[in-house]
Amino acid sequence: MEDLQVLKQRFGIIGNDLHLNMALEKAVRVAPTDISVLVTGESGVGKENIPKIIHQLSHRKHAKYIAVNCGAIPEGTIDSELFGHEKGSFTGATQDRKGYFEVADGGTIFLDEVGELPLTTQVRLLRVLENGEFIKVGSSAVQKTDVRIVAATNVNMNTAIEKERFREDLYYRLSTVEIFLPSLRERNQDIHLLFRKFAADFAQKYRMPTVRLEEDAVTILLNYRFPGNIRQLKNLAEQISVIEENRNISGAKLKQYLPDNRGNLPAIMGGKKDNDFSSERDIMYKILFDMRNDINDLKKLTLDLLKSGNIEEVQEENHQLIEKIYGDKEVNTRNVEVLNIPQKASVEKNYDFIETIEEDESLSLQDKEIEMIKRSLEKNKDKRKLAAKELGISERTLYRKIKQYDL
């Protein structure tokens, strides 16, 4: 096994963090094999270094190494980029084209941001991983390729699988070995070391003295959380190197280059929490439907109790359910009157009333829906696509409702 310090010098890796060393050791151990590797970690932690190490230490080092940013290729052309296409297979395909998997035969392909691949492309990639076969776009001929795949992502793959954005079988094929790279805030002791290295590099590049941080500036630097990780730190060092005339940087001066200086705040490791609803309209619908269910429960309970002929029990149960609907507000006679349930009424009369409520409610909801559709169509000048988007329904559903209500 290659010595870690020699490896770091060879590939320009700075740092002595334990988790970083563990990731590098794992990369060295899997390099001689042909198993697929998935590199995980936040954006900007340097995931692109791992596939280079694996390729250079493998028996494929004299063959092609191709890095592909899956998130930067449009969905409509990514199959052509990866697997190639035949002449005339689509508009603009004026000649045959080799894809990356054909060009890199015998070598290594690095699929960066693999979590952004479309589902159709994921199926094609799975076939390559399973038996080394692929088919060009517009062709029916099966071709073979001998490629080692190393992928990387900053996406939470378990969440992507749950939301059906990534195939579970492909995930397990890609992550035969998973290598995790820690974020910069987890490598606290490496931050100043990296800054000094970047500052020295930029001083040489721009032919000027190297900037140095004063003691208070070092403290601020170590306490900052660096959401952009190494990429952000490198950018910071370059800005200061180019802009500042005074090469000794104080803490106050450093703060001017740190956006939202919240170094002591905890980071949200799980990423942004997905909302249960896609818009405020959905939230309002949910509230209204919950209220409707409560009202329906109240009516059903009232009907059951009226059948039993116990009016006092009806009033007591109504009070309890109204408290549930209106929260901790005072329950008074007016609250009960909202339901229009007379305190002295015959059982038969109340039956008729409740049936009338149900019919009126059904008609009222239908009228509201018709009114909303009419208003939306009028607002969008009868453009169904725009109206459907505004209403939060599919264009097909809107078309069906237009026919249903004869609008």
Which pLDDT score is estimated for 269?
Answer: 42
CATH of 185-255, one of 3.40.50.300, 1.10.8.60, 3.40.190.10, 3.40.50.10420: 1.10.8.60
Which pLDDT score is estimated for 342?
Answer: 47
Fold of 4-182: Rossmann fold (3.40.50)
Which pLDDT score is estimated for 217?
Answer: 95
Which pLDDT score is estimated for 3?
Answer: 85
Which pLDDT score is estimated for 304?
Answer: 66
Residue pair 370/405 in contact by the 8 Å Cβ criterion: yes
391-398's contacts with Cβ under 8 Å and 24+ in sequence apart are 392/279, 392/281, 392/282, 398/373
Residue with tokens 């899997």: 30
Which pLDDT score is estimated for 259?
Answer: 85
Which pLDDT score is estimated for 264?
Answer: 45
Phi, psi (degrees; rounded to nearest 5) at 184: -65, -35
Give the torsion through C-alpha atoms of 189, 192, 195, 197, to 10 deg: -80
Which pLDDT score is estimated for 406?
Answer: 78
pLDDT in tens, the chain (407 residues): 458 999 999 999 999 999 999 999 999 999 999 999 999 999 999 999 999 999 999 999 999 999 999 999 998 899 999 999 999 888 888 899 999 999 999 999 999 999 999 999 999 999 999 999 999 999 999 999 999 999 999 999 999 999 999 999 999 999 999 999 999 999 999 999 999 999 999 999 999 999 999 999 999 999 999 999 999 999 999 999 999 999 999 999 999 999 864 444 444 444 444 444 444 555 665 666 667 666 776 676 666 666 665 555 555 655 655 555 555 444 444 444 444 444 444 444 454 544 444 445 445 567 777 888 888 888 888 888 888 888 878 877 887 788 787 77
| DSSP H or E stretch at residue 152 | strand 148-153
Angle (nearest 5°) at CA 32 between 26 and 35:
75
Which pLDDT score is estimated for 348?
Answer: 45
Residue range 34-57, pLDDT digits in tens: 999 999 999 999 999 999 999 999
User: What number of residues does the chain have?
Assistant: 407
The domain ranges of the chain are 4-182, 185-255, 291-345, 347-407
Cα separation values, 161 from 37, 90, 367, Å: 18, 31, 41
Helix (H, G, I), strand (E, B) or coil at 117: coil
SS3 for 26-74 is: HHHHHCCCCCCEEEECCCCCCCCHHHHHHHHCCCCCCCCEEEEEHHHCC
* Residue (of 55, 26, 17) closest to 177 by Cα position: 26
d(CA 321, CA 336): 10
Cα-Cα-Cα-Cα dihedral sign, residues 2, 3, 6, 7: positive
Does the pTM of the predicted model rise above 0.85? no
CA 197, chain centre distance (Å): 33
